[in-house]
Amino acid sequence: MSQYVSRLGQRRTRPSQQPRLRFPGRRPRRVAMLSVHTSPLHQPGTGDAGGMNVYIVELARQLAAQGTEVEIFTRATTGALEPTVELTPGVLVRHIDAGPYEGLAKEDLPAQLCAFTHGVMQVWAGHRPGYYDLVHSHYWLSGHVGWLAAQRWGVPLVHAMHTMAKVKNACLAEGDAPEPAARVIGETQIVRAADRLIANTGEEADELVRHYEADPANTAVVHPGVNLDRFRPGDGRAAARARLGLPQEAVVPLFAGRIQPLKAPDVLLRAVALLVDEEPGLRARLVVPVVGGPSGSGLAKPEELQKLAARLGIADLVRFHPPVGQERLADWYRAASVLVMPSYSESFGLVAVEAQACGTPVVAAAVGGLPVAVRDGESGYLVEGHDPADYARRLRLFIDDSTRAERMGAAAARHARGFGWDAAAADTLDVYTAALQARRRRLRSPHG
Ligand code: UDP
């Protein structure tokens, strides 16, 4: 990974709130953060709200705590919203009118980017020159707005893809719809336009270089964090089960997140069906909660997973719950014997780290950021591919050894403590500072 700007995410031991900048220099006073298609105020776990929303909220909070103000621009999706909402001191959410509040899917939003950019420019025009020091865009739609805004304001553009069309298309679930060519083109343009790209993992940085010809020198790796105050073992599994009404002796493999083919919750259900076929007595011991709501291509068939559970003859074991706030989600993690994440692709997989931070091991597909998030054989198991039998074998280990969840859970909690948002924010500030310095150097150079 040495060809990248840095392995910023490796520095994990710094005391919180005391960023030591690898690139000493002026840090941005105020960042315009762009999140066109989904708001940091939305409930994650369904529709277009997921890890990226959590990422933006937590990163912005920590940047503000470390002295950099953040204004997050997002599309207004209801008339009831105030134009600005303070998330926390130093973090402002700005609602931009771009198209009707309802009825637009993410796929319709490329047609609204001009309107959104217009709204961003109007806000900017109301400020003195130099109000924003840097633009940080999230996801390709925001990248396009950021491209123009950063050029017009004469500031650097830092971009995070979160997911990439070419990567998603390379490992689609069976029958899932591929991402359109227009997105690939849009992403390629942003890679060229951005001063710096932030990748969640070394693998994502490699993908940016391999698929989009990103310049390794401008591609930084910053591991996302986990809110360690919210996600912690707390009062333990038994108390969490009591609160959620789950049987104390049950084996509980949990799925949490957006329900769509990409996340492969069906693989968990098929694995459970195999286990029950093998040993019908297990029926009395297994409870399988699925926490989250339909999203992406899963929206077309919102009942698909329920129907699959019925077809597999395990409808009585699977309990569907709509998405919950993170305090409640932490209880679901604590209550589970193991979190199962059989995703086809995953730019990082925050739920894997959150569950571990709560003391719960993870069985995950070895894709995307999950090999960073999970320590194979220690804090959980990584599985190659999506064969339900392979997941059933790993789940069997937790069924046969009732102490495994505790043992691996303790290791998981230790592992997750390395992923604080304070460190992620300090690493992001390093990227900002480097981008500002490079721009200043370019402006000073005679060839400009
Ligand atoms: N989440 C939540 N409530 C739910 C389910 C999920 O708040 O009921 C949050 C979860 O805490 C996590 C995010 O949604 O931070 C999902 O992020 P992840 O990276 O796992 O997946 P993504 O949605 O980005 O694909």
Instruction: Output the residue whose Cα is nearest ligand 1's atom 8.
Output: 323
- CA pair distance 152, 150, nearest whole angstrom: 6
For the chain, list residues with pLDDT below 70. Answer: 1-24, 447-448
CA of 51 to the centre of ligand 1 (A): 5
Radius of gyration of the chain (CA): 22
Atom of ligand 1 minimally distant from the CA of 50: 23
Decide: 354 in ligand 1 pocket, CB within 6 A: yes
Show the tokens assigned to 30. 């105020």
What share of residues in the chain are helix, strand, coil (percent, to 5)? Answer: 45, 15, 40
Q: Are the C-beta atoms of residues 353 and 416 closer than 8 Å to each other?
A: yes
Q: How far apart are CA 159 and CA 164, in angstroms?
A: 12
In whole angstroms, how far apart are CA 295 and each of 46, 101, 257, 260, 329? 5, 19, 9, 6, 18
Q: Counting every residue, how long is the chain?
A: 448
Q: Is residue 22 within 8 Å of residue 423, measured between CB atoms?
A: no
Q: Is the CB of 49 under 6 A from ligand 1?
A: no
Q: Does ligand 1 come within 6 angstroms of the Cβ of 293? A: no
State the virtual CA torsion across 265, 269, 275, 281 in degrees, nearest 10: 130
Ligand 1 center from residue 104 Cα (angstroms): 22
Residue whose CA is closest, atom 16 of ligand 1?
A: 51
**Amino acid letter for position 212:** Y
Between CA 134 and CA 166 the distance in angstroms is 27
349 Cβ inside 6 Å of ligand 1: yes
Please work out whether the CB of residue 98 comes within 6 Å of at least one atom of ligand 1: no
Around Cβ 127, how many Cβ atoms within 10 Å?
A: 10
Task: Classify burial at 148, counting beta carbons within 10 Å of its beta carbon; exposed 0-12, middle 13-18, buried 19 or more.
Answer: middle
Asked if residues 269 and 305 have their Cβ atoms less than 8 Å apart, the reply is: yes
What is the predicted pLDDT for the residue at 168?
94
Q: Do 350 and 258 meet the contact criterion of CB atoms below 8 Å apart?
A: no
Q: Which residues contact 53 (CB under 8 A, 6 or more apart)?
A: 35, 38, 39, 40, 42, 44
Please work out whether the CB of residue 258 comes within 6 Å of at least one atom of ligand 1.
yes
DSSP 77: -
CB 332 within 8 A of CB 289: yes
Nearest CA to ligand 1 atom 10: 351
Shortest-distance atom of ligand 1 to CA 52:
24
**pLDDT at site 118:** 98
Which residue among 59, 244, 326 has the greatest number of ligand 1 atoms within 8 angstroms of its CB, and so is best to mutate? 326
27 CA to centre of ligand 1 in angstroms: 30
| C-alpha distances out from residue 100 to 108, 146, 286, 408, Å | 11, 22, 45, 49
Question: Residue 41 in contact with residue 27, Cβ under 8 Å?
Answer: no
Question: Top-level CATH class of 8-225+420-440?
Answer: alpha beta
- 329 CB near ligand 1 (under 6 Å): yes
- Give the list of residues 6+ apart from residue 443 with CB closer than 8 angstroms, or none: none
Distance CA(171)–CA(179), nearest Å, equals 11
Measured from the CA of 326, which atom of ligand 1 is nearest? Answer: 7
Q: How far apart are CA 421 and CA 154, in angstroms?
A: 29
CATH of 236-416, one of 3.40.50.2000, 3.40.50.20, 2.60.40.790, 3.40.50.720: 3.40.50.2000
139-153 helix and 181-193 helix, angle to the nearest 10 degrees: 30
Tokens of 295: 């999203």
Residue 204 assigned as binding residue:
no
Residue 428 assigned as binding residue: no
DSSP assignment letter at 40: T
Residue 354 annotated as binding site: yes
Q: Ligand 1: does its nearest atom lie under 6 Å from the Cβ of 47? A: no
CB 195 within 8 A of CB 149: no
291 Cβ below 6 A of ligand 1: yes
List where CATH 3.40.50.2000 sits in the chain. 8-225+420-440, 236-416
Q: How far is the CA of 341 from the centre of ligand 1 (A)?
A: 12
Residue-wise pLDDT for 357-400, tens only, equals 999 999 999 999 999 999 999 999 999 999 999 999 999 999 99
Does residue 257 line the site of ligand 1, with CB under 6 A? Answer: yes
11-50 per-position pLDDT tens digit = 443 434 444 555 567 899 999 999 999 999 999 999 999 9
| Phi and psi, residue 352, nearest 5° | -65, -40
The C-alpha atoms of residue 155 and residue 152 are separated, in whole angstroms, by 8
User: Among residues of the chain, what percentage have pLDDT more than 70?
Assistant: 94
Six token digits for residue 15 = 């005391």
Predicted local confidence at residue 16, as pLDDT: 40
Tokens linked to 156: 């650097």
Ligand 1 contact via 164 beta carbon (within 6 Å): no
Please give the number of the atom of ligand 1 that sits closest to the Cα of 321: 8
CA of 300 to the centre of ligand 1 (A): 20
Parallel, antiparallel, or unpaired: how do β-strands 91-96 and 84-88 relate?
A: antiparallel
Dist. CA 37–CA 74, nearest whole Å: 7
Atom 5 of ligand 1, nearest CA residue: 45
Tell me how far apart the alpha carbons of residues 358 and 258 are, in angstroms, rounded to a whole number: 20
